[in-house]
Amino acid sequence: NVHPLTILRLKKKYDETGTVQNKLLKGQLCLLTEKDKRKIVHKIMVNECSTAVDVQKSLKVNEKIEISANTIRRTLKRNGLNSRVKDGESLNDRYMKLMVKFEGRSIFIWECFIYLSVGYLIQIEEGLDGDLYRQILNDEFLNTLEFYELNAQDIIFQQDNDLKHTAKLT
């Protein structure tokens, strides 16, 4: 069942344009082919280039492709390579993290960190309640302190105001 107004609109559109197809939306054309995008990722992954600007120069000289460094950064990000660059430092492996998407799935972990480093990491299979939280503190947290040879009385313990953290038994 098609509404009569829909038919009238389609007829009017056909009379005016010769087709009932929608017009292509305006927007910036993609400057890179899929092959170009793979080249960008490859140049970073094999350390041929260490910054987006290096990739930009390489593409301009070798491939005759002129694009901005921001386009290269967006391409890297869309391909799972996020970067964080301090002033004057190049883009290198220690700043890059491969992002893995889990198609709607997630993983729940608990971890502590101290001024020396990060502590023990534990995966939580089910939900976290006060009992499990106390068990984690007694096991993983105290093991972290022991590993780094720290005394519980010498540290400042901080946590947010989640009910599990502020329960009387905790």
Instruction: Kindly tell me if the per-residue pLDDT of 59 is higher than 80.
Output: yes
Q: Does any domain span residue 16? A: no
Q: Does any domain span residue 93? A: yes
The mean of the pLDDT values for the chain is 80
Q: Does any domain span residue 21? A: no
Asked if 69 and 118 sit in the same domain, the reply is no
Instruction: Kindly tell me if the per-residue pLDDT of 138 is higher than 70.
Output: yes
Q: What is the DSSP letter of 122?
A: E
Q: Please state, in angstroms and rounded to a whole number, the distance separating the CA atoms of residues 43 and 36.
A: 11
- Residues 6+ positions from 117 with CB-CB distance below 8 Å: 148
Number of domains in the chain: 2
Reported as a single tens digit per residue, the pLDDT across 5-48 is 888 989 999 998 888 888 776 666 777 888 999 899 888 888 88
Residues forming beta bridges with residue 113, ordered by sequence position: 118
Instruction: Kindly tell me if the per-residue pLDDT of 133 is higher than 70.
Output: yes
Asked if 87 and 139 sit in the same domain, the reply is no
**150 touches 168 (CB < 8 A):** no
Q: What is the maximum alpha-carbon separation in the chain? A: 83
Asked if 146 and 127 sit in the same domain, the reply is yes
Q: Does any domain span residue 150? A: yes
Query: Region 78-100: what's the mean pLDDT?
Result: 60
Asked if 121 and 78 sit in the same domain, the reply is no
Task: Identify the domain boundary among 45, 65, 98.
Answer: 98
Asked if 41 and 82 sit in the same domain, the reply is yes
Q: Computed over its alpha carbons, how large is the radius of gyration of the chain? A: 27
CATH code for the domain in which residue 40 is found: 1.10.10
Task: Identify the domain boundary among 77, 98, 119.
Answer: 98
pTM above threshold 0.75: no
Range of the structural domain that residue 119 is part of: 109-166
Q: Does any domain span residue 9? A: no
Terminal Cα distance for the chain, rounded: 63
> CA 112 from chain center: how many Å?
22
Q: Does any domain span residue 122? A: yes
Instruction: Kindly tell me if the per-residue pLDDT of 132 is higher than 80.
Output: yes
Q: Does any domain span residue 44? A: yes
Q: Please state, in angstroms and rounded to a whole number, the distance separating the CA atoms of residues 142 and 136.
A: 9
Q: Does any domain span residue 1? A: no
Asked if 81 and 51 sit in the same domain, the reply is yes
Asked if 58 and 86 sit in the same domain, the reply is yes
Q: Please state, in angstroms and rounded to a whole number, the distance separating the CA atoms of residues 95 and 17.
A: 52
